[in-house]
Amino acid sequence: RIHRAILIGMGVLPLEFADGRRAADLGIDGSETLDLEGLGSPVKPRQPVTLVIRRADGRVDRAPLVVRIAPAIESEYYRHGGILPYVLRQILSR
């Protein structure tokens, strides 16, 4: 839980494999391009998304993920790029 909260606080979207896989199971070596499909706006708690892995040899693999944002305020923190930008915008809007 604390790692998830830290990621959100820094504006990084926490994701979890939906099917029990681990990152090591995907054979990622750093030559891939990674994309997310299905990420809505606003980001919703437990929203399903798909990791698209485009490999250097042209193969494309997909892995189901789940957005690990819990309360609605975390979605706002993420939308603003983290807690600090969120708080600053709140202060400046007064």
Task: Check if the beta carbon of residue 92 is closer than 8 Å to that of residue 84.
Answer: no
- Please give the average per-residue pLDDT across 13-26, as a whole number: 89
What is the model's pTM? Answer: 0.76
57: confidence class by pLDDT, cuts 50, 70, 90: very high
At residue 19, the pLDDT reads 85
- Please give the average per-residue pLDDT across 23-49, as a whole number: 90
At residue 75, the pLDDT reads 82
Choose the most confident range, by mean pLDDT, from 3-12, 14-23, 30-39.
Answer: 30-39
